[in-house]
Structure 1
Amino acid sequence: MTKIAAPAVSNRHPDARPQAAGTTPWAIKGELILNCNCTVFCPCVVSLGKHAPTEGYCQAWSGIRIDSGHYGDTDLSGLNVGLLLEIPGLMARGNWKAAAFIDDRADQNAYLALIEIFSGRAKGTTGLFKLLVSEFLGAERAAITYETEGKTRRLMVGKKIQGEVVPVQGKDPDRDIVATNTEYWMGSDITVATANKGRVRAFGRVWDFDGRSAEICQIDWSGPEVAR
């Protein structure tokens, strides 16, 4: 796993005219899983950040499976991304710390595109990262595996993130417990889940969130303006 600083350079052809940040059309569809240190389902989903995390602060890892996606003419389909997030209190107050792991199968154009998207510089759905993240800890290329087995989702980022989340079982075991029609930034329907495993050993962080809150969400993100 090679650590690479997130470069603030263009991935456009040298002969192309410069393009201002946040003007390239992009879109991602796929699935996101997240596991945090909250002891019960994350209150941020329904309070939209107006209620503090259950421990007063948030530490979380997340995995994104991109089923289809693009950044301008760069294809992002089939790639995976891992994230680390630290939020000291209420989400909206900012001062977040974040780090990204980019699928090592991504070519240079796709790598740079995903940095633009997940740093918030590409605007659109993930634009809040640019507003709320005060310290970007770095980006690394990594072997990232995102697996689905039945209702179980697993994320492996080398030895740095080992996660497994499952939906919390309801009265009808065939139906997931879902918070629907929310205004949560990730997506309107969030499946209530828990982590069978949530281990992080990265960027000086040593986290063990087994048994803690988790989320599963189908994502349909875009920016800055994409015709649907």
Structure 2
Amino acid sequence: MADQISWHLSGDYFENCSCSVACPCLVSPAAPLTAQPTEGFCNVPLIFHIDSGRYGSVALDGLNVFVILRSPGVMADGDWSIATYIDQRADDEQTEALVAIFTGVAGGPMAAFAPLISKNLGTRKVPITFRIDGKTRSAQIPGILHMSVDPLPTLHPSGEMWVNIGHPVSPDKMALAVGAPGNTFSDHGMRWDNSGKNGHYASIRWSNQA
């Protein structure tokens, strides 16, 4: 069983959802994810780069993963759709491991989303480019994704606003960011443009061990 395999990974991630800055879903006053998304729905691409990681005996170093989540309304109400895109450089064992981790089947942070997902749109292997240039994070999948975020402007000398909002992907802290112009996703009959919308980025350190 996938959830019996010990795994861990570390790397970086960023996202750019369809909400105006800042997204109300993560700071809902009543309970997490219960606020109405600013557009009435939430389309969120999440992109991951693994610096180092292992799933059992399978090495995951250097691979990228892209996940889309679509919520048709209030996120806590569920009925989400998910699609997973795996680095085309991954072999069959690595692909199986990455799908298990990033769909939440193997436990770990993504498992927090699993009860809210009702439709799995499947997995594709694609060429994924992930870059960090200074404080800018960017990613590209030809014909599918063009995505870039920068830190939300701030007077803080660091040029970044780091917050602890309990996001499952990075529960300790993440930077508030904003999507660059031309941030688009197109696949599965959907086309999103999240330019100028809410974003986050952070280093990640995941495992399925308590």
* TM-score, length-scaled by structure 1: 0.85
Report SS of the residue matched to 2:202.
Answer: strand
1:200 is aligned to 2:185? yes
Shift of 1:84: 1.2
Counterparts of 2:46 and 2:15, CA distance in 1: 4
| More off after superposition, 39-48 vs 137-146 | 39-48
Counterparts of 1:73 and 1:221, CA distance in 2: 16
Shift of 1:159: 1.8
Structure 2 regions of 5+ residues with no counterpart? none
Alignment-derived partner of residue 42 in structure 1: 23
CA RMSD in angstroms, aligned pairs only: 1.4
Kindly name which structure, 1 or 2, has the bigger radius of gyration based on alpha carbons. Answer: 1
1:33 is aligned to 2:10? no
Structure 1 regions of 5+ residues with no counterpart? 1-19
Shift of 1:173: 4.8
Alignment-derived partner of residue 212 in structure 1: 197
Shift of 1:46: 2.8
Alignment-derived partner of residue 148 in structure 1: 132
Contact 1:179 1:192 in 2 (8 A): yes
Report SS of the residue matched to 2:168.
Answer: coil
Shift of 1:162: 0.4
Counterparts of 1:104 and 1:145, CA distance in 2: 11
Counterparts of 2:66 and 2:188, CA distance in 1: 13
Report SS of the residue matched to 2:154.
Answer: coil
Alignment-derived partner of residue 37 in structure 2: 53
Alignment-derived partner of residue 116 in structure 2: 132
Cα deviation 1:16-57 (Å, max 9, x = unaligned): xxxx23111111211111011101211223333122221121
Pairs aligned (count): 205
Q: Percent identity?
A: 34
Counterparts of 2:65 and 2:150, CA distance in 1: 19
